[in-house]
Amino acid sequence: MTPQEEQPQQLPPSAIRFLCVCEGGNCRSVALALMLKATKQHDAIACSWKDISEQTFHMLAAWADAIIVMEAYMAEKIPEPWQDKLNILDVGVDVWANPFNQELWAKIGDLLKETHIKIRPLSPIRLSNA
């Protein structure tokens, strides 16, 4: 089979859809989205809270089962209709500037192990394999 003929790997039907949000949408939220896809087999999209149109944000928020912001102050940037999907994974200010930074991945991994993520209203889950 040639690369052009290869079928993309499908996510399992149980895959959860995450909207990962940070200020620029280029580092922390991208790292989280990559981790959720690669290690947890979930669907995830990274975006910025400040460089996105209101219409696009609402479309993505409607698609998502859960919204995760990468710093606590960003919770106020999520519009009211989507607050029931809101989760905070506070990795702090972006000092990595690279979504593949191993220190960032370790920090996100540690936070995911200790954080309960709300999936739609009233459905907390733990994302760690432990």
Identify the H or E element spanning 19.
Answer: strand 17-22
One-letter amino acid for residue 130 of the chain: A
Q: Among residues of the chain, what percentage have pLDDT more than 70?
A: 85
Cα-Cα-Cα-Cα torsion 29, 32, 18, 82, nearest 10 degrees, comes to: -40
Q: Which residue has the tokens 């669907």?
A: 43
Contact 115, 87 (CB under 8 A): yes
Query: Is 130 or 93 the better-scoring residue by pLDDT?
Result: 93
- What is residue 13's predicted lDDT score, i.e. its pLDDT? 78
pLDDT band at 74 (very low <50, low <70, confident <90, very high): very high
- Tell me how far apart the alpha carbons of residues 59 and 34 are, in angstroms, rounded to a whole number: 21
> Tell me: the pLDDT tens digits for 46-58?
999 999 999 999 9
- What is residue 8's predicted lDDT score, i.e. its pLDDT? 59
pLDDT surpassing 90 at residue 96: yes
- What is residue 130's predicted lDDT score, i.e. its pLDDT? 42
Q: What is the mean pLDDT of residues 92-101?
A: 96
Global pTM reads: 0.84
